[in-house]
Amino acid sequence: MSDTIELTAELRTTVGKGASRRLRRLEDKVPAIIYGGEGDAVMLSLSANELSKAMQIEAFYSQVLNVSIEGKSEQAVVRDLQRNPADERVQHIDFQRVRANVAITVSVPLHFINEDSCVGVKMQGGTLTRTLTEVEISCLPANLPEYIEVDMAEIESGTSVHLSDLSIGEGVSILALALGEDRDIPVASVTAKRGGAEDTESEDGATEEAPSADDAADEASEG
């Protein structure tokens, strides 16, 4: 697991759309809220610059963060993040407190490895397709993985890697799998290469060689 990401927040006493707009424009800060756990919901503001730097770290979206509020540190995860559709700037962010003995639900990224050496692609000419980029899991905060690796090295053409094939670690469960076998969807597949023009299939299913140019010329002269 990577080093814990630290954020510094200030208490926010003014609320409403107008107050939030002024906070963003005049102070270059982002309004936020932290809730859950055993504490009350608290309105916060964060430095837009500090938040932007933290968001460049992939783990920001899926790991437990340390949010320092008036010198007191609280552990939390990102629950919602709203952006301005025009410029993608963050308009508001929600944090949810976590407790060491209470399981949390988080979407963690998938890291695909050994794609270049995948048997189905390199040796069998197939095409690799990623179906998912993240997966929703449940676990205690201490067991939360930074990401889940998907090893594509031995995946053959015409086969897939499903959710149930993932190595997720002790104490971690994939939420979709608890809903039934039909939720065991592929996270990546290697599609078999289509047959070339050199082979054609006869009516009884046998494979025949396509006629050569000389054979075609002989048939034309006989006709």
Q: Which domains does the chain have, with CATH numbers?
A: 6-97 (2.40.240.10), 104-191 (2.170.120.20)
pLDDT in tens, the chain (223 residues): 457 899 999 999 888 888 888 888 888 999 999 999 888 999 999 999 999 999 999 999 999 999 999 989 999 999 999 999 998 899 999 999 999 999 999 999 999 999 999 999 999 999 999 999 999 999 999 999 999 999 999 999 999 999 999 999 899 999 999 999 999 999 999 999 876 443 434 444 444 444 554 554 454 445 4
pLDDT at residue 215, rounded to an integer:
52
Q: CA-CA distance, 201 to 94, in Å (whole number)?
A: 60
Residues in the chain: 223
Q: Specify the DSSP element, H or E, that contains 27.
A: helix 17-27
Q: CA-CA distance, 135 to 148, in Å (whole number)?
A: 9
Residue 181 C-alpha from the chain's centroid: 21
Q: How far apart are the first and last CA of the chain?
A: 75
Nearest Cα neighbor of 12 from 22, 4, 2 is: 22
